[in-house]
Structures are given as C-alpha cells and as structure tokens.
Amino acid sequence: MTDTPVRNTTARWRDLDRRHHLSPFTDYRDLKGAEAGSRIITRAEGIQLFDSEGEAFLDGMAGLWCVNVGYGRKELAEAAYRQMLELPYYNTFFKTATPPPVELSERLAALMPEKLNRVFYGSSGSESNDTVVRLARHFWKLEGQPEKQHFISRTYAYHGSTMASASLGGMTPMQEGFGLPLPGFHHVVPPYWYDFGGDLSPEEFGQKAARAIEEKILEIGPENVAAFIGEPIMGAGGVIVPPPGYWEEVQRICRQYDVLLVADEVICGFGRTGHWFASELFGIEPDLMTMAKGITSGYLPLSAVGVSDRIVEALLREGGEFAHGYTYSGHPAACAVALANLDIIEKEGLVERTRNETGPHLQQALHAAFDDHPLVGEVRGTGLIAAVELVKDKASRTHWEKLGRVGGICRDHCFANRVVIRAVRDAMVLSPPLVITPAEIDEMVVRLKHCIDATARDLGVL
C-alpha cells in the first residue's frame, strides 16, 4: 500500500526540513527518524492553522505573539502587492526616504506615548533592541557622558536573539556557551510575585523588585548606567504581570538617577493589552520604545524604535553621523503593510474590543476554568495575553521537579488536541489573535482544560 499524495508531500517536506533546514530554538535530535520531523503548516484563516495533513488547529499564540488581525487578510496582501509594483525596495540611507516609512512614522507618532515623535526602523525586535543599545550610548556620548554604557534588565526578560539583544535579555539558556551577556549588561529580579514574592504581598514585592533596580544602579554607579529596559508585561518570560505600583517606582528611580527608561513593546504593543501600547496601561513614559510583531501582524518583517524628543534634540543639536542602520530599515513594502494593518485595527476597533469584550472574556473564562484546579497555582494576564501556572503544590507555590517538564507534557497534549498553547517553564501561555470571538475563546479554554486535566492524570493529580 502506498501513502496518499498528501502524506507523500508531507514526508518529502519533513525530509527536506531534516536534511537542509536549521530551525531556530530547536533540539535537532528531536527531528531524527522517518516518523519524526516538523509539523508542516500550509495555510491559515482567521485564528485557525492548517497543516499539510489537513488538521486544523486553534492558534492560541497568534503565530509568535504577532498575528493581531488574524490570518488571511487580503487587505495586507494587496497593500504589499501594490507597493511592490510601484517601488519594491529602496534604502533610507544618505538623506533619502520613501513615502511608506514617512507616512507610517506620522501614524506611529500619533499613537505612541507623549514625547515619542520620531521612529527608527529595523526588521525585527532583536534589531530594534540592538538599535536601542547603540542609540542610548550615542546619546550619552553627545551629552558629554560617554561613560554611561551600562544597561540593566531583568531575569526572564526576552529582548531578542542578537548578541546585544540577548545580552539585554535574562534568558540563561540563550547566554550560556555563547559568551553572553556581553560586558555592560546586568540583570535584577523580575516582578514575578508567584515565584519570588515569598511572604510579601504582591504590592510589597513589586516595590522590592523595583528597588532592586535602584540597588543595581548604585552598585554600578549612576554615572555609568545608560538605561533600564523592560517589557511592560514580560511575555516570553511567562506572561509576568507586574504588581500595582511597580512601574511607577521604576520610573521614579530612572528619573532620579538620570537613567533612560526603555519600554519593550514588541509583544504588548498594538492592542494586545486593550491599549495601543501597554505603556499607557501602566503609566510608563519611556525615552525609547521598541515595537515589532503586531506592527504588521507578522505579514512582513518590520520593527521600530520610538525616540523621545530629548534624544532627538541632542542628535540635532550636536550633529555628527549616527553610524548605524540596516539594509531594510524602513522597507517600503513592509511599511505599506503596517499602514494597512493599522487601518484594520482602527476600523474594526480591535483595541477597544480587546479592552472591553474579548480581553475580559478570556480572563474570566480562564479563572472560571482553573482557579480551583489542583494542578493550577495561578491564572494571570490582562487583555488577550494570559498564563496558567502549573504547580505541584498550590498552598506553598511549589513547582514540579525539573522545571519545564510538566509544561512540556501539557504542550504535547495541546498539539494532540489541536490547540497551539506555548509552555514557558511550567506556565501555559496564551496570546491569540485580536480578532478572536468570545465563542472561539470558550472553545480554546475548553481544549486547554482538557489538556491540563490530561496532564494532571499523567502526574497522578486527578
């Protein structure tokens, strides 16, 4: 008996993937064997993915936190097509510009927090956080303080995969064996009450976590610290929602010691929290702000750094070349797609809908399903970003041995039940497209409940 044509195609793609393609963040041993290999995703529509064998999956992660307006939006494909016919590419170096990045910059300036009125483009969040490092150090040099070279971030932070952005991040596996972090990058405790709060209340721990930044500034010397960078809600670190008062104290500390405040909005931006940017939710007034992912809903690679008036004024006043940029900075087709993406978000009211309808519905549905579950220690989130923390003992907030093992078991159950939910250590994290409906949220939570129940049975908890 021969395989069906579909299976023959799948087998061929898996074989080619094994033989020629090196995927990111992959243990390549897992791809060995005729029956092993990557799942081949061939098409998508709305919030659903379809693989090469015809299976449909609910995408609870919006790709990689990015497909905010959902899959199959013809408006975005048509925007790219029109721009590619007119001007597929030209660089923005050497006092040259093209219309799409200029128009997009105006749109972003109207949406970003106050005092951010200029934009520098890249192709990924990693690139833009690299730009943050270069631009912050360049700014302090122009200000006559070139010794301000050091950056403070947090454990579990994710800021990208380049050498500089991985140094900004606090993901140990991304640093060990790579000579990272580079000199000048420091990390403090994150505002992760569930893991690190001990007997303190969330508010008390939030203040303690903020003061850890101050202690690090004083240890390094304020005259040596360029910036503190943080995601308003730490996404890839496990959807860590800061306790009330944390960001107010962080901002006060940065202002007191004249340290630039950088908001990494790569995941939180463009409606994810029910606000255009989570900086608005937490009252953050950043000096620099990185954006990516939802800026084009992932349809084309694009990222950006919002730059404050204070920094721009120094650039204009002191002059001199900022010797930094990328071939695809301000790529016209990517920027055209971003403009069309913003049109969809505004026209369909996705930010307001996330804030007032779907975001509360997701949070309420998760709490109803899991607050009393014996395997669940905490449900946390806001808007359309959430985490369900799987623990061994709820009362003592004790994790299972070999952190990440239980999350991996649950993730495998999720794939088997055709719902894409990511495991971060032992937290199951969700970040669905903003176009998700309440009925689709209910179905996603039902499937996740089935998978967490199955995991609990595997562990002998149910």
Band (pLDDT 50/70/90 cuts) for residue 127 is very high
Helices and strands in the chain: count of H runs, count of E runs: 16, 15
With respect to residue 20, please indicate whether it lies within any of the assigned structural domains.
no
Domain edge (last residue) among 302, 321, 347: 347
pLDDT value, residue 2: 44
3-state secondary structure of 308: strand
Residues 439 and 329 in one domain: no
Which domain range does residue 120 map to?
A: 74-347
Same domain, yes or no: 153 and 299: yes
> Does 134 map to a domain?
yes
pLDDT in tens, 140-158: 999 999 999 999 999 999 9
CATH of the domain at 417: 3.90.1150.10
- Interval 366-381 mean pLDDT: 98
The pLDDT, as a whole number, for residue 29 is 80
Instruction: Convert the pLDDT of each residue in 410-431 to its tens digit.
Output: 999 999 999 999 999 999 999 9
The pLDDT tens digits of the residues spanning 179-202 come to 999 999 999 999 999 999 999 999
Answer with the one of 326, 347, 368 that is the final residue of a domain: 347
Note whether residue 114 is domain-resident.
yes
How would DSSP label each residue in 211-251?
HHHHHHHHHH-GGGEEEEEE-SSBTTTT-BPPPTTHHHHHH
pLDDT of residue 7: 58
What value does the mean pLDDT of the chain take? 95
pLDDT at 1: 39
Would 322 be classed as within a structural domain? yes
On whether both 201 and 227 belong to a single domain, the answer is yes
Q: In 3D, which of 42, 30, 38, 35 has the Cα closest to residue 14?
A: 38
Specify the 3-state DSSP secondary structure of 45.
strand
Are residues 376 and 306 both part of a single domain? no
* Sheet-wide strand order for 303-308: 116-122, 303-308, 288-291, 260-264, 225-230, 150-154, 185-188
Q: Is 53 contained in some domain? A: yes
Counting Cα atoms < 13 Å in the Cβ hemisphere of 68 gives 36
Contact 448, 419 (CB under 8 A): yes
Q: How many residues does the chain have?
A: 462
In a domain, 160, yes or no: yes
Instruction: Please tell me the pTM assigned to this model.
Output: 0.95
Same-domain pairing of 238 and 271: yes
Regarding whether 166 and 154 lie in a shared domain, the answer is yes
**pLDDT, mean of residues 2-9:** 59
CB atoms within 10 A of CB 52: 18
Average pLDDT of the residues in 325-334: 96
Same domain? For 334 and 377 the reply is no
- Answer yes or no: is 452 within a domain: yes
Q: Tell me, yes or no, whether 255 and 377 share the same domain.
A: no
Q: What total of structural domains would you count in the chain?
A: 2
Q: Pick from 347, 370, 391: which residue ends a domain?
A: 347
d(CA 414, CA 450): 9
By C-alpha distance, which of 74, 43, 66 is closest to 56?
A: 43
**270: alpha, beta or left? (left if phi > 0; alpha if psi -120 to 50):** left
Under DSSP, the state recorded for 358 is I
Residues 217, 305: one domain? yes
Supply the pLDDT for residue 37: 80
CATH of the domain at 176: 3.40.640.10
Does some domain include residue 8?
A: no
56 and 100 inside one domain: no
Q: How confident is the model at residue 209 (pLDDT cuts 50, 70, 90)?
A: very high
407 plus 321 within the same structural domain? no
The pairing of beta strand 56-59 with beta strand 150-154: unpaired
CB atoms within 10 A of CB 307: 24
Strands (E), 123-175: 150-154
For position 310, what pLDDT does the model report?
97
Same structural domain for residues 400 and 295?
Answer: no
